C-alpha cells in the first residue's frame, strides 16, 4: 500500500464552499442521484415491511451507490460536467464497496451504542474509504487503513466534520425531509473536495477508470 499523505490542516468551511460550487455545476444529475438513493432506502428499509430480505438487498446496493456519488463529483472536477451513468460506476468496484459499507455500518453502530462521540470518531477515521476504493482501486481493508492513517492526526476535527453532517441532515429533515435530498450530495461533495486536496486526483481517463499521468 502506498504511503499515506501528510496533512497540515483541516479546512471544513473551504470544503463545503467548494462542494457547493461543484454542486451548482450539475444540480439536476446530483439531485436525481440523491432522490434515487433515498427512494430506494425508504422502500427497502420501511418499518412496515415484514420482508427483511429487502433490507439485506439494500446492504448490497448502498456501498456502490455511495461510491457513485464520489464518481460524479470527481467527473465534475475533471471535466466540468457529469454523465448520469457515472453514478453507477461504483458497481465496477462492487465487492470492496459492499464489504466496506457493511463494516462501516457495524463499526459506527457499535460506536454510537457507547454514546455519540465514539460513533462520530469511527466515522471520521474512515471518512475516505469510498473514494479510496474508487480512485486507488484499493481493497476494502486497504481503504479503511489508508483513511485511518490520514485522519488520525486530526481526529477530533474530522469528528466535528461528521457532527456537522448530522446537524445538516437534521435541519434537512425539518423541511419534510426534502432538505436532506440537497444536503446529502452537498456533504459527500465536501468529502470529495477534501479527498482531492489530500490525496490528489488521477487525471487521464482510460478504460474502466482514471489513471495518473506518468
Phi-psi region of 196 (alpha: psi -120 to 50; beta: other; left: phi over 0): alpha
How far apart CA 148 and CA 154 sit, in angstroms, is 10
Classify residue 61: in a domain, yes or no: yes
pLDDT at 209: 42
78 assigned to some structural domain? yes
Domain membership of residue 204 (yes or no) is no
Our separate counts of H helices and E strands in the chain read: 9, 2
Residue 82's domain comprises 12-197
Task: Give domain status of residue 103, yes or no.
Answer: yes
Query: Which pLDDT value is given to residue 104?
Result: 93
Q: Distance (Å, rounded) from C-alpha 13 to C-alpha 142?
A: 28
- Domain membership flag for residue 202: no
The pLDDT score that the predictor gives to residue 51 is 57
**203 lies in some domain:** no
Tell me how many domains the chain contains.
1
Print pLDDT tens along the chain (214 aa). Answer: 566 676 767 889 999 999 999 999 999 999 999 999 999 888 877 655 555 566 778 889 999 999 999 999 999 999 999 999 999 999 999 999 999 999 999 888 887 777 667 778 899 999 999 999 999 999 999 999 999 999 998 988 999 999 998 888 888 777 767 888 999 999 999 999 999 999 999 775 533 443 333 2
d(C-alpha 141, C-alpha 122), whole Å: 15
pLDDT value at residue 208: 41
Hey, is 64 helix, strand or coil? helix
Residue 67 lies in a domain: yes
- With 0-12 / 13-18 / 19 or more C-beta atoms within 10 angstroms meaning exposed / middle / buried, residue 92 is middle
208 is a domain residue: no
Amino acid at each position: 500500500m502506498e504511503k499515506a499523505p501528510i496533512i497540515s490542516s483541516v479546512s471544513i468551511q473551504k470544503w463545503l464552499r467548494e462542494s457547493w460550487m461543484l454542486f451548482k455545476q450539475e444540480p439536476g444529475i446530483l439531485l436525481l442521484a440523491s432522490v434515487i438513493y433515498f427512494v430506494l432506502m425508504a422502500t427497502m428499509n420501511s418499518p412496515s415491511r415484514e420482508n427483511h430480505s429487502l433490507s439485506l438487498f439494500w446492504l448490497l446496493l448502498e456501498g456502490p451507490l455511495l461510491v457513485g456519488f464520489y464518481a460524479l463529483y470527481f467527473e465534475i472536477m475533471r471535466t466540468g460536467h457529469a454523465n448520469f451513468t457515472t453514478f453507477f460506476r461504483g458497481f465496477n468496484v462492487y465487492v470492496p464497496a459492499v464489504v466496506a459499507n457493511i463494516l462501516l455500518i457495524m463499526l459506527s453502530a457499535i460506536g454510537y451504542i457507547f454514546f455519540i462521540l465514539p460513533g462520530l470518531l469511527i466515522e471520521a477515521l474512515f471518512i475516505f474509504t469510498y473514494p479510496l476504493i474508487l480512485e486507488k482501486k484499493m481493497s476494502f481493508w486497504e481503504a479503511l487503513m489508508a483513511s485511518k492513517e490520514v485522519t488520525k492526526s486530526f481526529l477530533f476535527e474530522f469528528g466535528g466534520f461528521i457532527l456537522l453532517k448530522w446537524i445538516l441532515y437534521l435541519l434537512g429533515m425539518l423541511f419534510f425531509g426534502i432538505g436532506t435530498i440537497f444536503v446529502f450530495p452537498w456533504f459527500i461533495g465536501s468529502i470529495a473536495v477534501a479527498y482531492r486536496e489530500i490525496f490528489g486526483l488521477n487525471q487521464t481517463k482510460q478504460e474502466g477508470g482514471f489513471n495518473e499521468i506518468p
